[in-house]
Amino acid sequence: MSDKMMEKIEKKKAIDKKNDKKYLIIMLVLVVLCAGAGYLAGMLIGKLKKKGALSFELSEEFIGNLAVVMLAVFVAINVILAIVAIICISKAKKELKLWDGDDDVEAERIEGRVSIPLCLSSIVMIINMFLFSVCVNLDINSNFSEKKEDIMMIANIIVFVLSFVVVLVVQKKAVDFTKEMNLEKEGSIFDAKFSEKWEKSCDEAQKLQIYKAGTAGFKAMSSVCMTLWMVCLVADLFANTGLFPCCIVFVIWLTGNIAYLVGAAKAEKSKN
């Protein structure tokens, strides 16, 4: 190795060492500040609990009214999804008929229009599962008569099932349209291996986009899990919520990291 190369390496090591010290100091300062803030917040919460400031209960009548409102919100969100999907896919189909087959910019614009309901459907599916659990909880803890409680429970189940139908139909229409524009695309949303088949049918640029999105999703998941762990820990210390919330976060966090590491190992193995 030449002297110039060795000199560059030594300079790089010196710069890295200096940066490591700087970032280590910043990290330690942040840790101390967060610990102090957590201690002060704990003291404040403890005093408020002793005074009864944090103890409150919702009336059964309020919970009953909220159950009806949340069911209406449940329905409205899926109706909005269906309307948006109909508008976007209908416009995309009209634009596809006018497309000359060569304008790549126009093709991207048409596909972008269809991606709107496709992305929304994924988000709405998660919201649907959350709203169903909320509606069931409110129904059980309301002041409804036994008959009305049964009716509300049946209504919740029906809306929940129909919401899945809406999401599946929207996703199928969007995927079918994309396959119509790109004949090389393969896969059915009803197939358990849809994601795998769809990825294989993508070109290199699309695969790179998928991998970047997956990495961004993994980073976001790690940050959220770290935040949730701290929230669950504080909630257990001051609200006696128990270890179950922490265990749920642990399972999600660990599963995500193991899946990422296994995927990275498989990718490295296939590359070699």
Tens-place pLDDT, residues 213-226: 888 888 999 999 99
- Tell whether 116 and 157 lie within a shared domain: yes
The answer to the question of residue 196 being in a domain is no
Are 142 and 160 in contact by the 8 Å Cβ rule? The answer is no
Among the ranges given (57-66, 162-171, 246-255), the one the predictor scored with the smallest mean pLDDT:
57-66
At residue 240, what are phi and psi to the nearest 5 degrees? Answer: 55, 50
Comparing CA positions, the residue from 72, 74, 91 lying closest to residue 177 is: 91
Summarize the confidence of residues 148-165 as an average pLDDT.
89
The answer to the question of residue 178 being in a domain is yes
Share of the chain above pLDDT 70, in %: 85
The answer to the question of residue 254 being in a domain is yes
pLDDT(261) > 90: no
pTM of the model: 0.71
What CATH code is carried by the domain that includes residue 132?
1.10.132
The answer to the question of residue 197 being in a domain is no
Summarize the confidence of residues 164-183 as an average pLDDT.
87
pLDDT at 199: 80
The answer to the question of residue 186 being in a domain is yes
The answer to the question of residue 133 being in a domain is yes
**Structure token digits, residue 210:** 């998928």
Among residues 56, 71, 94, which one ends one of the domains? 56
- Tell whether 118 and 171 lie within a shared domain: yes
Number of domains in the chain: 3
Q: How confident is the model at residue 177 (pLDDT cuts 50, 70, 90)?
A: confident
- Tell whether 65 and 171 lie within a shared domain: yes
- Tell whether 125 and 46 lie within a shared domain: no
- Tell whether 233 and 176 lie within a shared domain: no
Q: Angle at Cα 91 formed by Cα 85 and Cα 95, nearest 5°?
A: 140
The amino acid that residue 210 corresponds to is: I
pLDDT(18) > 90: no
Classify residue 93 as exposed, middle or buried by CB count within 10 Å of its CB (0-12, 13-18, 19+): middle
The answer to the question of residue 235 being in a domain is yes
Higher-scoring residue by pLDDT: 171, 193:
171
How many angstroms separate the Cα of 103 from the Cα of each of 94, 99, 228, 239?
A: 16, 7, 46, 60
- Tell whether 228 and 212 lie within a shared domain: yes
- Tell whether 86 and 161 lie within a shared domain: yes
Mean pLDDT of all residues belonging to the chain: 82
pLDDT(194) > 70: yes
- Tell whether 128 and 220 lie within a shared domain: no
Secondary structure percentages of the chain, helix, strand, coil, to 5: 85, 0, 15
Summarize the confidence of residues 183-204 as an average pLDDT.
79
**Structure token digits, residue 85:** 């999907």
Q: How confident is the model at residue 200 (pLDDT cuts 50, 70, 90)?
A: confident
Among residues 11, 30, 56, which one ends one of the domains? 56
> 25-67: per-residue pLDDT in tens?
887 888 788 777 766 766 666 665 566 555 545 566 777 788 8
pLDDT at 170: 93
Higher-scoring residue by pLDDT: 7, 175:
175
* Residue range(s) defining the domain that contains residue 15: 1-56
Summarize the confidence of residues 115-138 as an average pLDDT.
90
Are 140 and 112 in contact by the 8 Å Cβ rule? The answer is no
pLDDT at 201: 81
- Tell whether 132 and 257 lie within a shared domain: no
At residue 211, what are phi and psi to the nearest 5 degrees? Answer: -65, -40
- Tell whether 126 and 251 lie within a shared domain: no
pLDDT at 50: 63
Comparing CA positions, the residue from 177, 92, 76 lying closest to residue 128 is: 76
pLDDT at 121: 92
- Tell whether 182 and 136 lie within a shared domain: yes
> 70-89: per-residue pLDDT in tens?
999 999 999 999 999 999 99
